[in-house]
């Protein structure tokens, strides 16, 4: 069994874990349009929601100079973007960093540092 097959099988097991939550990734985008008649910009916002599966866990990080910070890491089966919001039940988190888990170049999960 290759590393990719083992990792994919482990991730599939996690999907059936009772601690695995079903959040949504919300991405909001703004678009400005210039109205030549009125001579001003108008802004419209749109939101996109993507259902996914995720595991959230607390982590500790050692920063430059030695201070220890406490954060939350999410492992997801859908790719979030930096700045998007991860909604899990009544809680919401802002995505600060994203890393792709892709052994052999095939992405099957993403790690996101959230606050």
User: Measured at the alpha carbon of residue 99, what is the angle toward residues 93 and 56, in degrees to the nearest 5?
Assistant: 40
**Domain count of the fold of the chain:** 1
**Residue 33 counted as domain residue:** no
Of all helices (H) and strands (E), which one includes residue 4? helix 3-15
pLDDT of residue 100: 92
86-105 tens-digit pLDDT: 888 788 899 999 999 988 88
**Residue 47 counted as domain residue:** no
Percent of the chain beyond pLDDT 90?
Answer: 13
**Residue 29 counted as domain residue:** no
**Residue 79 counted as domain residue:** yes
Domain membership of residue 86 as a residue range: 3-23+52-114
pLDDT beyond 60 at 13: yes
pLDDT beyond 80 at 12: no
pLDDT beyond 80 at 54: yes
């Amino acid at each position: 069994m290759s590393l990719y097959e083992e990792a994919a099988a482990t991730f599939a097991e996690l999907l059936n874990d009772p601690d695995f939550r079903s959040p949504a990734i919300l991405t909001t985008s703004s678009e400005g349009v210039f109205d030549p008649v009125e001579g001003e910009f108008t802004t419209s916002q749109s939101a996109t929601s993507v259902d996914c599966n995720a595991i959230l866990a607390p982590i500790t990080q050692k920063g430059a100079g030695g201070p220890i910070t406490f954060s939350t890491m999410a492992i997801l089966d859908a790719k979030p973007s930096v700045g998007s919001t991860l909604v899990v039940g009544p809680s919401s988190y802002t995505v600060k960093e994203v890393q792709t888990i892709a052994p052999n170049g095939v992405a099957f999960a993403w790690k996101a540092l959230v606050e």
